[in-house]
Amino acid sequence: MPLRYYFVEEIVRELLERHIKDRDLTGKKVQQEAKELREKYNKIDKELGDDEQLVGLDWSEADLNSFNFKNVVLSTPGRQPNFKNSYLSNANLEGADLWGTNLEGADLQNANLKRAILWGANIRGAYLEDAHLGGAKLQNARIEEAHLQGTHLERAN
């Protein structure tokens, strides 16, 4: 059973409050915090592994500027996160699994998306000025109306 929107919002809000200073959402500690928050809201998903506790959360319109998501698993089939209209400028999403993620209208200016998995992602209208997408996987991604001035796309496919 998927999380209800209002529970997901609380999980994200609490995670952001805990990490507003260090801006780091990587590592086992954060995964454990997310697992505890899912339990707190009685929405534990037994199918999620220990490194997948951030999967499928709703981050829409969240201020995630300069946050670190390096190599974080944020998406699995059937559990894609929502970053619609979120603020991710200068964020580190290098190697992050963002398969099928909704990034519509997100501010990703100067974000590091090197080697990120963006298969089937919705990137419509996103702001990717000066973002680094070298080696990113972009198959079937929707990039209509995305702002790509100065975007680094070396070896992206």
Instruction: Report the distance separating Cα 138 and Cα 25, nearest Å.
Output: 23
Same domain flag for 18 and 40: yes
Residues 6+ apart with CB under 8 A from 110: 89, 90, 129, 130, 131
What is the pTM (predicted TM-score) of this model?
0.83
63-74 per-position pLDDT tens digit: 999 999 999 988
- At position 122, the amino acid (one-letter code) is N
Within this chain, do residues 88 and 15 fall inside the same structural domain, yes or no? no
Residue 128, domain extent: 54-156
> Does residue 5 register a pLDDT over 50?
no
Q: How confident is the model over 75-86, as pLDDT tens digits?
A: 887 889 999 999
What's the mean per-residue pLDDT of the chain? 88
Residues 122 and 147 in one domain: yes
Whether residue 92 sits in one domain with residue 141: yes
pLDDT score recorded for residue 154 = 94
User: Do 91 and 65 contact (CB within 8 A), yes or no?
Assistant: yes
Q: Give the span between the Cα atoms of 110 and 132, in whole angstroms.
A: 7
Q: Give the pLDDT band of residue 128 (cuts 50, 70, 90).
A: very high
Same domain, 60 and 137: yes
25 and 81 share one domain: no
pLDDT band at 43 (very low <50, low <70, confident <90, very high): low
Report the domain count for the chain.
2
- pLDDT(12) > 60: yes
